[in-house]
Amino acid sequence: MEEVPSYIVHIKSEFLAPKVPKEINANESNNDKVVEEQKSKKRNRDAVKKTEIRYCHAFIGTGNCDNGLNCRFSHDLKSLLTSKPEDLGPSCYKFDKYGFCNEGVTCRFGSMHIDSTTGVNLSRTAENGGVLSRPIDFNILNKELQHLLWKKNYDYDDKKVYNNSHLNETNIPYPDKPVKLVDFSNKVYIAPLTTIGNLPFRRILKDLGADITCGEMAMSNNLIDGKQTEWALLRRHQSEDIFGVQIAGSHSDSMAKVSKLLNKETVSDFVDLNCGCPIDVITDKGCGSKLMTRPNKLCDIASTLLRNFNRSVTVKIRVGWDEPTAHKLVPMLQKINNGKLAAIMIHGRTRQQRYSKEANWDYIYEVCKSQDPTLPRVPIIGNGDILSYEDWKNHQNLVRNNFDDDEERGLCSCAMIGRGAIIKPWLSREIKGQNVYDISASERLDILKIFCNYGMEHWGSDNQGIATTRRFLLEWLGYLHRYVPVALLERTQKMQQRPPHFFGRGDLETLMASSDAKDWIKISEMLLGPAPDDLVFEGKIKSNAYSNESEMAMSNG
Ligand SMILES: Cc1cc2nc3c(=O)[nH]c(=O)nc-3n(C[C@H](O)[C@H](O)[C@H](O)COP(=O)(O)O)c2cc1C
Ligand SMILES: [Zn+2]
Ligand SMILES: [Zn+2]
For residue 368, the domain's CATH number is 3.20.20.70
252-288 pLDDT, tens digit per residue, is 999 999 999 999 999 999 999 999 999 999 999 999 9
Mean pLDDT of the chain: 87
Phi/psi-derived region of residue 273, left when phi > 0, alpha when psi is between -120 and 50, beta in every other case: beta
Q: 118-137 burial, b for 16+ CB within 10 Å, e for fewer?
A: ebbbbebeeeeeeeeeeeeb
Amino acid 143: pLDDT: 93
C-alpha 422, offset from chain centre = 9
Q: Considering every ligand atom, which ligand is closest to the CA of 99?
A: 3
Atom of ligand 1 nearest to the CA of 345: 19
Amino acid 460: pLDDT: 96
Sign of CA dihedral 83, 89, 90, 91: negative
Contact 329, 359 (CB under 8 A): no
Rg (CA), the chain: 25
Q: Which residues make up the environment of ion ligand 2, defined by Cβ < 5 Å?
A: 56, 59, 65, 71
DSSP 26: -
Amino acid 448: pLDDT: 98
97 CA to middle of ligand 3, Å? 10
Residue 345 has pLDDT above 80, yes or no: yes
116 belongs to a structural domain: no
507 CA to middle of ligand 1, Å? 32
Can you tell me the mean pLDDT for 410-428?
93
140 belongs to a structural domain: no
104 belongs to a structural domain: no
Contact 87, 108 (CB under 8 A): yes
Contact 212, 184 (CB under 8 A): yes
Q: Structurally, how many domains does the chain consist of?
A: 1
243 belongs to a structural domain: yes
Indicate which residue of 92, 101, 275, 277 is catalytic. 277
209 belongs to a structural domain: yes
Between CA 546 and CA 435 the distance in angstroms is: 32
Ligand 1 close to Cβ of residue 260 (< 6 A): no
Domain residues for the domain of 216 are: 179-433
Residue 79 has pLDDT above 50, yes or no: yes
Ligand 1 close to Cβ of residue 348 (< 6 A): no
Question: How far is the CA of 230 from the CAs of 277, 289, 476, in angstroms?
Answer: 16, 20, 21
Nearest CA to ligand 1 atom 12: 192
Q: Considering every ligand atom, which ligand is closest to the CA of 318?
A: 1
522 belongs to a structural domain: no
Least confident of 94-98, 371-375, 439-443, 481-485: 371-375
453 CA to middle of ligand 3, Å? 11
439-483 pLDDT, tens digit per residue, is 999 999 999 999 999 999 999 999 999 999 999 999 999 999 999
Between CA 417 and CA 184 the distance in angstroms is: 13
pTM of the model: 0.91
Amino acid 166: pLDDT: 53
Least confident of 68-82, 87-101, 178-192, 396-410: 396-410
Residue 173 has pLDDT above 70, yes or no: no
Percent of the chain with pLDDT over 90: 72
457 belongs to a structural domain: no
Instruction: Look up 277 and say whether it is catalytic.
Output: yes
Ligand 1 close to Cβ of residue 316 (< 6 A): yes
471 CA to middle of ligand 2, Å? 29
Residue 520's CB is within 10 A of a number of other CB atoms, namely: 26
187 belongs to a structural domain: yes
